[in-house]
Amino acid sequence: MATATATATPPVLHRLRSLDTSLSQSLHTRLNPFIPGHLLLLLEYSADFRLFFPVSLSLYFTPFRRSFAIPFIAGLLIDLLFIGLVKSIFRRSRPHYNPNMIPAVSVDHFSFPSGHASRVFFIAAFASFFAVFESTSWFLLFVWTWALLTSVSRVFLGRHFVLDVLAGACVGVLEALFVFRFLRLDISEFAVLHSDVYAIFTPPQTEIQFESNSGIWF
C-alpha cells in the first residue's frame, strides 16, 4: 500500500485562511465602490518602495544622518529583505477576485505579508520613537492615520487579504523596535533635530515680561 507523502494543510489553518479570504473579498466588494479610486491609488503610491526609498535617501545628506537617516534607511532595507524572504517562504497568491491585479503586482506576485503595511507601520513606529518630545502629537496623528489608511486600502483595492495587512503591520512595528534598540539611536541629537524642525512650523510668539521683586520673569 502506498503511503501518502504530501502534507495536508491543518484544518485550523485551512479554516482561518478561508475566513480571511471571505472577509477580505466581502470588504473589497462592498466598500470599494464607495471610496474614490484616486484616493486609494494615492495611498498606494505614497508607500510604494520604488518611489518612497529614493526620496528617503535624501535624508542621508542632512546634518543628522548618523542618528536619524542611516537607521531609517537601514530599516527600510531590512523591511524589504525580510518581507521578500517571508513571501518566498509562504508563497501565498494574491486575491483572485481583483481583475486589475496583474499590472499592479508585476514586481511582486505574493501576498503574505503586505509590504505596504509593514513599511508604513515601520515609519509610523519609527516616528513615534523619534518624537519623544512635546508638541509632536499633530505629527504622530498624521503619520499613524496615513499608516492605517494605507494599510486598509490594500484590502479595499483587492491587493491583499486582511491577515496579510495585520501581519505586515506587526512586522513593521517589530522592525522599528529592532532598529531603535540595536542601531543605537542618539536621542540627544533627536532633541536638536526636533527643536529645529518644530521651530520651522511654529509661528513666533510674543515674549511677555513680568516684573517681580526677585527680578524679571520670561
- In the set 14, 28, 38, 160, the catalytic residue is 160
Helix (H, G, I), strand (E, B) or coil at 93: strand
pLDDT value at position 57? 81
Residue type, 89: I
116 an active-site residue? yes
Taking the alpha carbons of 79, 84, 86, 91 in that order, is the dihedral positive or negative?
positive
Q: What confidence tens digit (pLDDT) does each residue in 186-216 have? A: 555 554 444 544 444 344 454 545 455 554 4
160 an active-site residue? yes
Question: What's the rounded mean pLDDT across residues 74-102?
Answer: 87
130 versus 157: which is more confidently predicted?
157
- In the set 14, 28, 38, 116, the catalytic residue is 116
Cell numbers standing for residue 44: 498606494
Question: What's the rounded mean pLDDT across residues 74-101?
Answer: 88
Cell numbers standing for residue 138: 499633530
Least confident of 94-98, 143-147, 161-165: 94-98
Say what the pTM is.
0.76
Residue type, 187: I
Least confident of 107-111, 133-137, 139-143: 133-137
